[in-house]
Amino acid sequence: MTEHGLREKVQDGMVPKAEGYNTLMSDLTELWMATENGGTLDETHAKSCLDQALDGLTDGSLCVVQSPTPCDHSDDAPWSVNIPLKQAILMVFRFFNTAEQGFSSLWWDKIPLLLGQEKWKKDGTRVVPGAFIRHGAYLGKSCIIMPSFINMGAHVGHKTMIDGGAHIGSCAFIGERCHISANVTIGGVLEPLQALPVIIEDEVFVGAGCQVVEGVHVGKGSILASGVVLTSSTKVIDRATGKQIAGRIPAYSVIIPGTYASGHYGLSIACAIIAKTRQPEESPKTALTDALRV
């Protein structure tokens, strides 16, 4: 299927479930190796594999990251990255041609915008005018997508709200019943291939203007106050114990921006502070409004 056929299929709402998972992963790996080594390529077969990968990412049967088993959701439980799907996203830019995108031909790109009105209607999802979602991104049921940008490979779980001006990067994972507030940046990652993207677990509230990048992992039920910046090297300091961590926010943490003294010239360095750890049964002021998701 050509990229134009892909656009037509997306517009018609005909997005099939991915079949033959193991075969597809093997084909993508072989295709990547041939591409990297300058081997002979069957472009028709290559585009067919990439179409399947993008379709699977869009309908949710495939995901770039894999969570631990349900019985092992401790803070230290490792998530894994599905490298062939990252490779597929990168290969799209090699095998797909640039074409006009959008109803009024305003964009010139290799990936069409996601046009899933029939599926959204069935799923109870709302996509507000001004929202741009690339094919290859997944939206769960009863999502609300305000004017924002969601890149290919991203996964947005059921009943999650993406507020105005938010940017969700390639391959970022956002769980269920999250609220991503206005002007938030959730960083994406395609390279290096083995690197995990940003992971936001279920029921997380991310306040306005936050930046979460470089593969930071935010545990379930956490709250990030407005303006928090989290990178892989940002010190996260527990106010109660003084313990310092980086790269991962423990479940049910309430995070506020802060600073710590650098010890030189009276300077301070930005950090994030665990203001408290709330109880799972505690209903915060940031709880979702169910009336919006019907």
How far is residue 257 from each of residues 52, 86, 165, 217, 269, measured CA to CA in Å? 42, 32, 21, 17, 11
- pLDDT of residue 231 exceeding 70: yes
Question: pLDDT per residue over 151-209, tens digit each?
Answer: 999 999 999 999 999 999 999 999 999 999 999 999 988 878 888 899 999 999 999 99
Q: Distance (Å, rounded) from C-alpha 166 to C-alpha 251? A: 23
pTM of the model: 0.86
Per domain, the residue ranges of the chain are: 3-68+78-98+111-279
Identify the burial level of 188 via C-beta atoms within 10 angstroms of its C-beta, where 0-12 means exposed, 13-18 middle and 19 or more buried: buried
- pLDDT of residue 13 exceeding 90: no
Question: pLDDT per residue over 241-265, tens digit each?
Answer: 999 999 999 999 999 999 998 877 8
Fold type of domain 3-68+78-98+111-279: UDP N-Acetylglucosamine Acyltransferase; domain 1 (2.160.10)
Q: What is the 3-state secondary structure (H, E, C) of 243-255?
A: CEECCEECCCEEE
The two structure tokens encoding residue 198: 């940003």
Q: Distance (Å, rounded) from C-alpha 90 to C-alpha 169? A: 14
Interior angle at CA 103, CA 112 and CA 159, nearest 5: 60
Question: pLDDT per residue over 124-166, tens digit each?
Answer: 999 999 999 999 999 999 999 999 999 999 999 999 999 999 9
